[in-house]
Amino acid sequence: MTADKPLRADARRKREALLAKAREVFDTGDFFDLRFDDFARLAGVGTGTLYRHFPTREALAEAVYRGEVATLCERARELQATLPAAEALAKFLRDTVDHIGAHVGLARTLATLMAAGSDTLADGSRELEQAVTDLVTAAVRDGTVRDDVSPGAIMMALHGIGAAHDRPEWRTEADGVITLVLAGLRPGG
């Protein structure tokens, strides 16, 4: 049994190398331009390792997406634990826009996966919506956010921001959408 531990650590390191390289390629927007086997070469692993961890390009993309969702959900929990509720919600929404802006290639790849009907995307969307729900619920509870706006409406705004990533003034407009959402969430807003 002890002999398996180094192999598992090595396998984990190679899997992480593949994911890190895929994230880089996402950010360049070239994810679908590369041959799938090229990911192994770029990550410094063998093609067998690539296929053992990720049998398809879609499986690799979905694994990157799951990692990004986990990062955003963890950020929501961290903010909720350290900031007043309304501030935590506002910071999370602005951080999410920053995240989308930093990973525009991922947005393009996700659009392709959405067209293929990936269950992973639906699961990730539900996880993110739960993170937003938790933030909104806390802010409603302390009276800093209206109680008649659903977290789903906020998610629609975030999805719209992500889908519009190719607009020339995307960042300015995305910040404007978040400002509108936050103003609309205030009691009496």
Indicate if 162 and 107 belong to the same structural domain.
Answer: yes
What average pLDDT score do residues 162-175 get?
A: 90
Indicate if 187 and 94 belong to the same structural domain.
Answer: yes
Indicate if 32 and 82 belong to the same structural domain.
Answer: no
Indicate if 112 and 21 belong to the same structural domain.
Answer: no
Indicate if 98 and 186 belong to the same structural domain.
Answer: yes
Indicate if 134 and 151 belong to the same structural domain.
Answer: yes
Position with higher pLDDT, 103 vs 154: 154
With 90 as the cut, is the pLDDT of residue 157 above it?
Answer: yes
- Domain of 185, CATH number, reads 1.10.357.10
Tell me: the pLDDT tens digits for 20-41? 998 888 877 777 788 889 999 9
pLDDT grade, residue 120 (50/70/90)?
confident
CB–CB of 112/168 below 8 Å?
no
CA atoms of 127 and 69, how far apart (whole Å)? 7
Range of the domain at 176: 57-189
Give the residue from 30, 55, 80 where a domain finishes: 55
Indicate if 46 and 68 belong to the same structural domain.
Answer: no
Indicate if 165 and 97 belong to the same structural domain.
Answer: yes
pLDDT grade, residue 8 (50/70/90)?
confident
Q: How many domains does the chain have?
A: 2
- Domain of 32, CATH number, reads 1.10.10
pLDDT of residue 108: 65
Indicate if 91 and 149 belong to the same structural domain.
Answer: yes
DSSP assignment letter at 1: -
Indicate if 128 and 185 belong to the same structural domain.
Answer: yes
Indicate if 4 and 90 belong to the same structural domain.
Answer: no
pLDDT of residue 40: 92
CA atoms of 114 and 65, how far apart (whole Å)? 12
Indicate if 47 and 106 belong to the same structural domain.
Answer: no
What average pLDDT score do residues 105-123 get?
A: 67
CA atoms of 169 and 175, how far apart (whole Å)? 10
What DSSP letter does each residue of 109-144 carry, written as one string?
HHHHHHHTT-HHHHHHHHHHHHHHHHHHHHHHHTTS
Please identify which residue in the block is written with the tokens 């955003």.
72
With 90 as the cut, is the pLDDT of residue 119 above it?
Answer: no
Flag the least confident range among 27-36, 92-101, 105-114: 105-114
Please identify which residue in the block is written with the tokens 């919600």.
89
